[in-house]
A = this chain, B = another copy of it.
């Protein structure tokens, strides 16, 4: 809508040219509790910690009371474990469902495990089904059963149905609260219906139109309804071509669908094509962020990589990849051992060999990061793998040649021209190998239905380390440096 449509019934709404002295563009951003990145200031967190330590619950309450629920959740995450329980008990009536829904999974799990089953059930009943499911799926089975037993039968059935879908599928994550109406209704009839209902979802962005078998036949954004006269039939306003999310679809694919088609919400259907729930973009946003951010963690073998993950779990996730890396490092060592005699004769080989391996490792990691990202975004498919590989080979040749000239010249000057030639050649071979491995390792994982990010770097580094040592030491022997 252009500038001239904005004013309505009142010309005074036109832009005033006098700046407002007392203007506070955003009271959250300007808040004295928040820093310029919209996170809680250290001084504020310290003040809460001091009040907690002094046992001054009134002061704690006064400090926390003005915060947005999302910031209360952040505050809980920033505190030490024992301070969290203390804080929660000082602000019980501020611990709303919004706070619980915003908490980090690990922090929520830890806090819920500290509470009795009926208290958890009380919180779960306040939450929307999808948030309640998140709360309960974290608990161990015994606690889950205890909490479910405390719930209202209606809520229990809704949550059990959600839990019957696999984790990280649309059926598990969807909200069971949505608005669905029959096709023949008019816009006026729909508005009257909505005004009469007292149990509508808090927020909804579209109205689903269903047939008699509860199959979606169309969808209508609220803005279309608002601008249509009362007597028009909804079937004349709705869009018939809509994106439906199968309940068994993985959350990663759901997130890509929302991104690709720019969705705000979407209907979720079961195997029979019946409308069973909706996914809204505010939930999908968390999934997008999680899925996009986890690749860096997975590539390095850091598992979930959440700073709130218990140390035991972080250790077990990471050490397995370090042990795998130990295995791959042994291979590189064996290759060096093959050339032990050459190294004994010319110790410069031992001095220079890590350079070839290190640059190869970095070049491989670069290509791998690009490939993993392209696969995750569905940009790299069977149709263009060949073209992307060719592209990466050209970049690798340029990179390899540049580094080879630099390192070759320096080595020739310090050691000997022959050794300079050997290291330059080895460098080109290794950077090209790195480019190949950086594309082919994640693509191979993908084709084997494995996550292409998981510890790809362990494999790529194994290849570049081994090739680096082999090419350099092998060429040195073959070309008669020693």
8 Å CB interface, A58-76 against B: 68, 70, 74
- Rounded to whole Å, the gap between the CB of A191 and the closest CB of chain B is 6
- CB pair A205 B296 closer than 8 Å: no
CB <8 Å contact, A23 and B215? yes
**What's the nearest-Cβ distance from chain B to residue A256, in Å?**
7
A226 to B193, CA, bound (A): 10
Once bound together, how far apart are the Cα atoms of A424 and B140, in whole Å? 38
Which of the 9-residue segments A87-95, A117-125, A393-401 touches chain B?
Answer: A393-401
Residues from 172 to 211 in A contacting B, C-beta threshold 8 Å: 176-182, 184-185, 189, 191, 193-195, 197, 199-201, 203-205, 210
Contact residues on A (Cβ < 8 Å of other chain), bracket: 35 or more
The answer for the CA separation of A200 and B4 in the assembled complex, in Å, is 11
Q: Given known contacts A28-B244, A70-B261, what 8 new A-B pairs fall within 8 Å (CB)? A: A8-B180, A13-B212, A26-B269, A195-B226, A222-B223, A259-B286, A296-B372, A322-B366
Among A286, A311, A350, A355, max chain B CB count under 10 A is at: A350
Q: Which residues of B contact A178 (CB under 8 A)?
A: 1
Asked if A19 is at the interface of the complex by the 8 Å CB criterion, the answer is yes
Taken together, the copies of this chain in the complex come to 2
Q: Is the CB of B227 within 8 A of A194?
A: yes
Check B373 against A293 for contact (C-beta < 8 Å).
Answer: yes
| A322: B residues at CB distance < 8 A | 359, 362-363, 366, 399, 402-403, 431
Q: Is A420 an interface residue (CB 8 A)?
A: no
How far, in whole Å, are A355 and B328 apart by their CA atoms in the complex? Answer: 9
B-facing residues in A303-320 (Cβ within 8 Å): 305-308, 311, 314-315, 318-319
Contacting chain B: which of A108-116, A142-150, A374-382, A474-482?
Answer: A374-382
A37: contacting residue among B181, B253, B328, CB under 8 A? B253
User: A330 touching B355 by the CB < 8 A rule?
Assistant: yes
A82 CB within 8 Å of chain B: no
Q: Indicate if A219 sits at the interface (CB-CB under 8 A).
A: no
Determine the chain B residues whose CB is within 8 A of the CB of A257 once the complex forms.
Answer: 38
State whether B177 touches A1 (Cβ < 8 A): yes
